[in-house]
Structure 1
Amino acid sequence: MSAATATRKGARWIEQWDPEDEQFWENGGKQTANRNLVFSVLSEHIGFSIWSLWSVMVLFMGPEYGIDPAGKFFLVATATAVGALVRVPYTFAVARFGGRNWTIVSALLLLLPTVAAAIVMEPGTSYTTFMLVAALTGVGGGNFASSMTNINSFFPLRKKGWALGLNAGGGNIGVPVVQLVGLLIIGTAGATHPRILLSVYIPLIVIAAALSALKMDNLAPVKNDTGAAKEAVKDAHTWIMSFLYIGTFGSFIGYSFAFGLVLQNQFARTPLQAASITFIGPLLGSLIRPVGGRLADRFGGARITLWNFLAMAAATGVIIIASTQKSLPLFTTAFIALFVLTGLGNGSTYKMIPGIYAAKALAKGLEGEEAASYGRRLSGASMGLIGAVGALGGVGINFAFRQSFLTEHTGTPAFVSFLAFYAVCFALTWAVYLRGQAVAPAEPVQAEAKPQLGYAQV
């Protein structure tokens, strides 16, 4: 025990941390949390850029590469899938190694896919090699899970919506930024120089790792709780929120990876024309994510999520009309609006997670720090799993597009399936979290004896 404790001593380890104590928070806790948030955002931002690297690389892959549209959709789906799966171990790595320490390691791991892509990115490379290198970029997707788990521990419940939204939104912006850099390179050097893009990111990765080492902290009180993990897996709310997160974040990352390919294959856009548009949606979707968190803090995440899914369904309906009428302006406008709504929903759904477990704590009759501790344990344990399952939605979107273009040579059937999915998400949100303003299922006698936090406020 003493040896284990000794490994958590040092200048970058914080031994005591209680953000729910307002005096602690105002007397230095807030400043420490905000500093860690800033550098967490930086590292996660670079991680998202590398995870979405192949959404740009495929724009450089002209006919000389010999890869058809279905093959390109499969490449980006591979990157999405690996990024989703590694989120689970990345979540537990924070408590095992420390938030600062794992941020350094996870940032340096981004060098593997970036350097590998620089080596193989040329015509004549086998498709299998491209697929393996695309799979390596999945490590960038894992950064989100560890970063969100880490930042969740730094902030009090009343600030989590904004903090988590800002952390995730700043990371999400890595998607449009890498697409913007790709656009700049295609517009100046041409679509035959992908290695320039990679040479930009290699030093940025090293800088992010160095700043994490210098500016971030580890929280000694944060430890992996296998009991909480098992409880989270058994809890129905973990899987319900995973399903809803497929609809919001799964849509965001799936569309981010696929937008350029859809424009190229459905509307015959050149790589430059596609790249000049694709960054807009992810950029706006990323910027609005903290707004979704802030609105959820004020009005309740369930309410914001409910109406957001309705709006997503409406935007998808417009996309289907534009797709059948072959109207590029209407298609692009509606698609960008859909991106904005995915970002808004990302913030509101993630805010719901700590709120749900706070409500469950009250329903169990817990109070004060005991209730706060229960909420932190369960929300932290569930976040990695929810993030992983949600990201798999991006895989589904790219596979849906792949099949749609293979069979119908258009993305319309895929959009019809997305519309149906958003309708299910709307119904599920209302039925579980808003119908009758229900509270968490727990012991009936205790639930009636205590004031409850309804799910409409989560």
Structure 2
Amino acid sequence: MAGRWIETWEPEDETFWREKGERVARRNLWFSVLSEHIGFSVWTLWSVMVLFMGPEYGIDAAGKFFLISTATLVGALVRIPYTFAVARFGGRNWTVITALGLLAPTLAAFWVMEPGTSYGTFVLVAALTGIGGGNFASSMTNINAFFPLREKGWALGLNAGGGNIGVPVVQLIGLLVIGTLGAAHPRVVLGVYIPLIVVAAVCAALYMDNLRPVRNDTGAAREAARSPHTWIVSTLYVGTFGSFIGYSFAFGLVLQTQFGRTPLQAASLTFLGPLLGSLIRPFGGRLADRHGGARITLAAFAAMGGATVIVISASATASLPVFLVGFTALFVLSGLANGSTYKMIPGIFHAQALAQGLDGEAAAAQGRRLSGAAMGFIGAVGALGGLAINLAFRQSFQTTGTGTAAFWSFLAFYAVCSALTWVVYLRRPAPVTAKPQVGYAEV
């Protein structure tokens, strides 16, 4: 696939950006969003499929949590190779390949989704849907290369938020099918996505571009992997994106298992939180552009702690309305923090380049080089947070019959993330002349 290649790309040059760059970057952004959106829908497909799996399937709550955990795990693992595939094949070309690749898990689920299918087959097909999670990493790496530092928070937030909306959309489609046809027709949901996948691939082929200056840099990957900031931000992203995707997968199942909701009742409630969390993500990026990603991230973690306390209280008293308020707040706050945390990545590595004595385009190029490599690691580790959440729910329900114990563990982790954000990026260190620090002003 030869594709369309742009030979020169200098987004930090304001004249280039004004005359050509912005128009091209925004066109690529919109079609990247479309492909990533469908990728997220496929990745989270089993959060909807389990709602169709009644007693006739012979799978208990723990087994269903394991199915969605399997999809989460594979989605996390493929993010690292997907990140580096952008430079190898070109952003446009790889978007076409990965979009078409979504046909495999969708068609497989269409084939097996019926009572009598073995549990092992369901696990394998759920694992296959994990490739949809990889689309996020390659899409974010690609869009990061198109935009100047001053607009990365908003652009990355739009790209990720538009993709994240794939979660509530597939849940709304599931609700529509259950509400109109009943819980015996999961294949209708899958049938909706098959033509949409083809449309996304065709649009990417027609309207997106490859950037020749984007090259795989094994040195950048090693340097990013050695940087403590890569792993610090990965930990923060476990708390933000891990929460968003983990709760998105588990919400409907928690409502069925802990509060006795029917599939229709659960489906009618599950979409709102992911929808709000997706819509607010770009604004988290915009706030980070203006006020610094670390400050917004810290505020979000503190608020997530408060929302978790509400959820624990509601879980203990079996109050569904209060539980829904607290859980929806967790979605909104994690979405906000997703945008602000991802904005920190290019800011941190640009600040490090400046601290090393680089300036101007040289510093910007070094920042893009390392942040692009770091995004693969950070996205993968963050997605593993979703796996941890689903496994925590599985264990909690197995041992106590409720999700309360899991929420206590999430509260403790949000406290750790708050402390980490404050100590590393916001607390003013004593002046050190030998080695400049990365602080709030830069991230």
Query: Normalising TM by the smaller chain, what interval?
Result: over 0.9
Verify the 8 A CA contact 2:351 2:442 in the aligned structure 1: no
Match 1:125 to one of 114, 117, 123: 117
Question: Which secondary structure state, in structure 2, belongs to the residue aligned with residue 222 of structure 1?
Answer: coil
Q: Which runs of structure 2 are paired with 1:315-394 in the superposition (5 Å)?
A: 315-394=307-386
Verify the 8 A CA contact 1:169 1:287 in the aligned structure 2: yes
Matched, 1:238 2:223: no
- Which portions of structure 1, spanning 4 or more consecutive aligned residues, are displaced by more than 2 angstroms? 444-447, 452-457
Verify the 8 A CA contact 1:302 1:457 in the aligned structure 2: no
Matched, 1:281 2:273: yes
**Distance change >3 Å, CA 212–CA 438, structure 1 → 2:** farther
Stretches of structure 1 lacking an aligned partner (at least 5 in a row): 1-6
Aligned residue number for residue 406 of structure 1 = 398
Following superposition, the deviation at residue 438 of structure 1 comes to 7.8
Match for 2:70: what amino acid? T
Match for 2:61: what amino acid? P
Aligned residue number for residue 4 of structure 1 = none
Match 1:99 to one of 74, 91, 115: 91
Match 1:137 to one of 121, 124, 129: 129
Verify the 8 A CA contact 1:319 1:330 in the aligned structure 2: yes
CA distance in 1, matches of 2:240, 2:438: 24
**Distance change >3 Å, CA 419–CA 438, structure 1 → 2:** farther
Match for 2:420: what amino acid? L
**Distance change >3 Å, CA 237–CA 161, structure 1 → 2:** same
Matched, 1:194 2:186: yes
Match for 2:238: what amino acid? I
Verify the 8 A CA contact 2:90 2:211 in the aligned structure 1: yes
Aligned residue number for residue 246 of structure 2 = 254
Matched, 1:153 2:138: no
Following superposition, the deviation at residue 456 of structure 1 comes to 3.8
Q: Which runs of structure 2 are paired with 1:12-161 in the superposition (5 Å)?
A: 12-161=4-153
Verify the 8 A CA contact 1:299 1:457 in the aligned structure 2: no
Match 1:303 to one of 295, 298, 304: 295
CA distance in 2, matches of 1:379, 1:341: 24
Verify the 8 A CA contact 2:5 2:212 in the aligned structure 1: yes
Match for 1:46: what amino acid? I
Report sequence identity in percent: 75
CA distance in 2, matches of 1:445, 1:361: 15
Match for 2:80: what amino acid? V
CA distance in 1, matches of 2:132, 2:378: 17
Verify the 8 A CA contact 2:302 2:414 in the aligned structure 1: yes
TM-score (norm 1): 0.95
Question: Which secondary structure state, in structure 2, belongs to the residue aligned with residue 165 of structure 1?
Answer: helix
Q: Deviations over 1:88-117 (max 9, x none)?
A: 000000000000000000000000000000
CA distance in 2, matches of 1:388, 1:123: 33
Match for 1:289: what amino acid? R
Match for 2:275: what amino acid? L
Q: Deviations over 1:295-341 (max 9, x none)?
A: 00000000000111000000000000000010000000110011000
Verify the 8 A CA contact 1:313 1:423 in the aligned structure 2: yes
CA distance in 1, matches of 2:412, 2:98: 37
Verify the 8 A CA contact 1:359 1:455 in the aligned structure 2: no
Q: Deviations over 1:152-210 (max 9, x none)?
A: 00000000000000000000000000000000000000000000001100000000000
Verify the 8 A CA contact 2:84 2:216 in the aligned structure 1: yes
Match for 1:15: what amino acid? E
Verify the 8 A CA contact 2:295 2:440 in the aligned structure 1: no
Q: Deviations over 1:207-255 (max 9, x none)?
A: 0000000000000000000000000000000000000000000000000
Question: Which secondary structure state, in structure 1, belongs to the residue aligned with residue 114 of structure 2?
Answer: coil
Aligned residue number for residue 440 of structure 2 = 455
Aligned residue number for residue 418 of structure 1 = 410
Match for 2:374: what amino acid? S
Match for 1:455: what amino acid? Y
CA distance in 1, matches of 2:365, 2:184: 54
Aligned residue number for residue 207 of structure 2 = 215
Question: Which secondary structure state, in structure 2, belongs to the residue aligned with residue 288 of structure 1?
Answer: helix
CA distance in 2, matches of 1:144, 1:88: 11
Aligned residue pairs total: 443
CA distance in 2, matches of 1:362, 1:438: 19
CA distance in 1, matches of 2:67, 2:335: 24
CA-based RMSD of the aligned residues comes to: 1.3
Following superposition, the deviation at residue 137 of structure 1 comes to 0.3
Aligned residue number for residue 164 of structure 1 = 156
CA distance in 2, matches of 1:123, 1:87: 32
**Distance change >3 Å, CA 271–CA 167, structure 1 → 2:** same
Verify the 8 A CA contact 1:365 1:446 in the aligned structure 2: no
CA distance in 1, matches of 2:430, 2:80: 30
CA distance in 2, matches of 1:75, 1:17: 43
CA distance in 1, matches of 2:407, 2:271: 20
